[in-house]
A and B are shown apart, each in its own frame.
Chain A
Amino acid sequence: MNVLVPSALRSYTSVSQVEATGDTLLMLFADLDRRYPGLRFRVVDEQDRLRPNMRIFVNGLGVRDLDHALQPTDFVAIVMALSGG
């Protein structure tokens, strides 16, 4: 599936959209980390929780549960929360 990557993670991916696979968001991040080592830990903590200032959208809908099931045709966006100054 296609994954939109925010600018803060381009140092890992070099591009704004990448291909990755996974039956759940957690599995998707495992695959992203295989392809782009280090990326997962910047977004998902060691307790498998989405970090506080990151958000995930699947087909435009916000999701915080990383066990959320995915379909191969889904579009996943990793987004930095709009917060702070």
Chain B
Amino acid sequence: MNPSSSGLVLLVATRKGAWLFHGDSQRNAWTVDGPHFLGHNISHVQLDPRDGRTLLAAAKTGHLGPTVFRSTDLGQTWKEAHRPPAFEKPSNSLPARAVDHTFWLTPGHTSERDTWYAGTSPQGLFRSEDGGVSWAPLPAVNDDPQFREWMGTVQDGTPDGPKLHSIIVDPRDPAHLLFGMSGGGVHESSDAGRSWSTLIEGMQVVDGFDAASVTFHDPHCVRICPSHPDRLYQQNHCGIYRLDRPATAWQRIGRSMPADVGDIGFPMVVHPHDADTAWVFPMDGTDVWPRTSPAGRPAAYGTRDGGQTWQRLDQGLPQQQAWWTVKRQAMTSDTLPAPALYLGNTSGELWIGHDGGARWACIARHLPEIYAVEVAALR
């Protein structure tokens, strides 16, 4: 690591490997470390905030099955999990399933050292209590007939396969968990995953479908506000939402987005210190769903009043003919007092949005398609 660094590292997961970018103190210069796992599909890389050193990477290749790699020296060496996320053999009449890839990694609560959660495609929830070395399925989700009905089949999922994502651990309570499924709704547990309740009230579904049916709900990304954990934001297939607990009904706050941009997208980013501030990165969700930046003009949109108003943030980004997409894990914020945004796009570009997205600058080009970007603080 660069000794003059800011202590920030960007963890970039791509279709062909993973890269780490170490930032200087101004977040202006970045030192690249990679590729790691060249040729592997890396869905997500996460740093353990409890030790500031341990990395987990969710990997597979075009031919080989899925696994999780672990590094305790910031990526200098990696070891494979002894027991990667894998479904149990069926104990009831439900069809047998195999994990295609681990899609999402979430470190556990600060009080639960070495606990991690993983979400997979097809939808499955797994927990590790040994730092990611071995993973156990959560049967109340993976083998529950009601959940399995909501999950549907691979035919019902996204083009890259149906996914369990947005695993959230309440910073106040390690037993309070949430996750989203594309498709299959938002779900919440207050007993560490032994039982679950749905959290879909107020969420809309595609025209012509029944909003009362959990299976039709497609949350793309759900985030909890670290500064006010009773507040959740969600980017959904059908709009942008906010939920302030103990209320149970999501409010569609994307209605105030410009009509020609809409409120469809993948990522949802929350401010680390201000629960009224959040960001999205809209995509074209019209006719055949191009899933590109609307009109080929990429822009983040930010709100500073909980979604009542939104401001376009595109200074420094291409102003025309830029048809890329930002996937749900590929946009985030650091936690410095004046946080910067970071995004990776489907064209292999890595960008930083200084001052909360007010000024964008390209950090790297010509990477493979970027699946996920996380920013972490080293110790």
Contacts and interface: CB of A to CB of B under 8 A. Distances in A.
Nearest to B90: A47
Interface string A53-85: 110000000000000000000000000110010
Contacts of B61: 8
Give the interface residue-count category, chain B: 10 to 19
Contacts of A49: 98
Given A37-B82, A41-B84, A47-B98, A53 B62 contact: yes
Contacts of B89: 46-47
A41 B86 contact: yes
* 6 pairs of A and B residues whose beta carbons are closest in the complex: A45-B98, A46-B86, A42-B64, A80-B63, A47-B96, A53-B63
Q: Which of B61, B62, B87 has the most CB of A within 10 A?
A: B62
Interface in B71-98: 80-82, 84, 86-89, 96-98
Contacts of B62: 53, 84
B275 to A, nearest CB: 41
B203 to A, nearest CB: 32
Interface in B35-75: 61-65, 67
A8 B99 contact: no
Contacts of B99: 45-46
Interface of B: 61-65, 67, 80-82, 84, 86-89, 96-99
A80 B62 CA distance: 9
A46 B87 contact: yes
A63 B65 CA distance: 19
Given A9-B64, A43-B64, A51-B65, 10 more contacts: A8-B61, A41-B67, A42-B67, A45-B86, A47-B87, A47-B89, A49-B98, A51-B63, A53-B62, A84-B62
Q: Which of A49, A51, A84 has the most CB of B within 10 A?
A: A51
Given A45-B98, A46-B99, A51 B87 contact: no
Nearest to A53: B63
A41 B63 contact: no
A84 B64 CA distance: 14
B65 A43 contact: yes
Contact of B64 (A8, A37, A46, A47): A8
B120 to A, nearest CB: 11
B63 A81 contact: yes
A50 to B, nearest CB: 10
Contacts of A84: 62
A38 B98 contact: no
Contacts of A6: 63
A47 B61 CA distance: 19
B80 A46 contact: no
Contacts of A81: 63
Interface string A25-51: 000000000000110011111110101
A6 B67 CA distance: 18
A34 to B, nearest CB: 13
B64 A51 contact: yes
Q: Which of A8, A49, A81 has the most CB of B within 10 A?
A: A8
Nearest to B81: A38
Nearest to B83: A41
Interface string A1-38: 00000101100000000000000000000000000011
A8 B96 CA distance: 27
Contacts of A9: 64
Contacts of A37: 80, 82
A53 B64 CA distance: 8
12 contacts: A37-B80, A38-B67, A41-B65, A42-B64, A45-B98, A46-B86, A46-B87, A46-B99, A47-B89, A51-B65, A54-B63, A81-B63
A37 B64 CA distance: 15
A51 B89 CA distance: 16
A51 B61 CA distance: 12
Nearest to A84: B62
B30 to A, nearest CB: 29
Contacts of B63: 6, 8, 51, 53-54, 80-81
Contacts of A41: 65, 67, 84, 86
